[in-house]
Amino acid sequence: MVHLGQSLPAALTAAAKISDGRIGILDRRGRRADVRTHAEVLAAARDSAERLTGLGVGEGDRVIVCLPTSWQWFDAWFGALLTGAVPSAIPPALGTVPEAAAAARIEQAVGLIGARLVVGGRWLEATQAAERPGLYGAQALTPRELASAAATSFAAPRAEVGELAFLQFTSGSTGRPRAVMIPHRAALHQAYALDTVVGAPWGKRSHELFDAAVLWLPLYHDMGLLSVVYSILNGRDLWLTPPQAFLARPQLWLDLVGSRGTTVAPAPNFGYQLCAERVAPEQAARIDLRSFQAALTGAEMVRAGTIEAFCDRFAASGFTRDRFRPCYGLAEAALAVTLDRRGEGPRTLPVPRGADAGLGLDELVGTGEPIPDTELRITAPDGSDAGAGELGEVWVKGPSVCLGYYRDPEATAEALAGDWLRTGDLGFVDRGELFIAGRLKEILIVRGQNFMPHEFERLAESATGGGGSFRSAAFAVARGPEGEELVLVAETAEKDPEVLSETAARVRSRIGLEIGLPVADVAFVRRGRIPRTTSGKVKRAEIRGLYLRGELERLG
């Protein structure tokens, strides 16, 4: 049971002492697991904390962890937390990421938060300690160097629940990344609220119902990190699949989900779409998902088509539609804001009457009711409350709301209105349930009209046969005296110039017929060339920049 009055390190330490829970990390092939008990996880973190203390890291120092899912990540991040330092995590250099790009990303993060120490892998291992750049004054260590550092005993600081616990970098779908300040109370409240809400359909807390949670999201993602915190504070098993293993063979994640007793598993919409696309019917028939009781879906727009595709593909596996539990959240609220607690299957509604044609999808999926102690407010453009069922900006109030953005008072003032968090997301409430309809900050103004990019992307994907793992991005560009004009970039596996030309004509025709707006340019790129955040959201600002600079790798 979560004790909301403690600091996060104190709560984790106390919970681990009485927990019989375990955390298992699968290998890169997603097969064999290396397992630690919660007590062993905290003991290893304490050992790392002593070594960090010996390196001079102390209360309030910022520590960046740039590692893949591994025990080294646990040791560094939780070790920093125990010392009273402020940990944060960024994506590691993996696969084909150039070392120069990895270095630039680390330097950007160090400069943003003024980090004292960076613990990293691949990029740092390529150079000797004496040859590493200054990184704005931060010391850079590999996990091996940290593990061999001299240990010094430390006294855990007495932190207040409202003070800063860690920094969570935003995924940066609408601009440069920012460091969200997460207080101790927010992380604790998330563990408590999720324990309460996920088990609501059965009238129990989730730790009384589920044997384990299964996760493939990386630990630098808020959904990944808070899943670890939830696991330890509530004494439940957690099984981690490396993201690369899931992306290569998503059926391994489903095999794990079906083999660990009664399970709960969170994933963004695109993760479920990938399973529906990549797992063949004969493979699905061999997967047993009867014990997969709660499939949480959030982190990006939840699509009704994905839900139906997954249910159709895995019906023979014992999966039913009522297991899907849509949710809505953002890093600025630690993780979850709303989550379906009915357990009756996702509810959909058409786009509200009178709404602009640019809202997005034909139908919207409900994301559930507010988690405990959390309030929603739907506001009109002038800041007043929108009417019942009317579309407006979603504001959030509750113990999970962040303290603002680190070293960014202007962005903090824009995001926080007193105790309220202005999410920048558009939505409405129907029968107590939140429906998200798009992103306020991504509105396109073309020919004097406001449009949401999701609508153009939906129509483009319907014309190209894309969607799912093949995405598109819509944005506006200035075209002389005519003002802003629409540009669409779409991923495709097609290479024939003639076929691409025909497909572009279909995209223009469909958008012209349904919205009455001409498309200035349709550009095709290979799958994966549209930049996305760690949770799968399209980085429209970044792809627009590539287009304007002439750096887009176009096909045809």
Rounded to 5 degrees, φ, ψ at 345 are 100, 150
- Kindly report, residue by residue over 454-505, the tens digit of the pLDDT: 878 888 888 887 666 688 999 888 665 445 789 999 999 888 999 999 999 9
Nearest to residue 62, comparing CAs of 89, 88, 35? 88
How far apart, in whole angstroms, are the C-alpha atoms of residue 521 and residue 475?
A: 10
- Kindly report, residue by residue over 158-208, the tens digit of the pLDDT: 889 999 999 999 854 444 678 999 999 999 999 999 999 999 999 999 999
Nearest to residue 379, comparing CAs of 396, 367, 363, 364? 396
Tracing tokens 């572009």 back to the chain, one arrives at 504
Any bridge partners for residue 365, and if so which?
348
- Kindly report, residue by residue over 521-553, the tens digit of the pLDDT: 999 999 889 988 766 778 888 898 899 889 999
- Structure tokens, 431: 């029968």
Any bridge partners for residue 266, and if so which?
296
For residue 290, which amino acid is it? R
> What pTM did the predictor assign?
0.82
- Above 70 in pLDDT, residue 353? no
For residue 284, which amino acid is it? A
Query: Contact 461/467 with Cβ under 8 angstroms?
Result: yes
H or E segment to which residue 306 belongs: helix 304-313
Q: What's the angle, vertex CA 533, arms to CA 434 and CA 161, rounded to 5?
A: 65
Residue 122's Cβ-side half-sphere holds a number of Cα atoms within 13 Å equal to: 15
- Above 80 in pLDDT, residue 351? no
Residue 316's Cβ-side half-sphere holds a number of Cα atoms within 13 Å equal to: 11
Which domains does the chain show, CATH number per domain?
34-159 (3.40.50.980), 182-441 (3.40.50.12780), 444-548 (3.30.300.30)
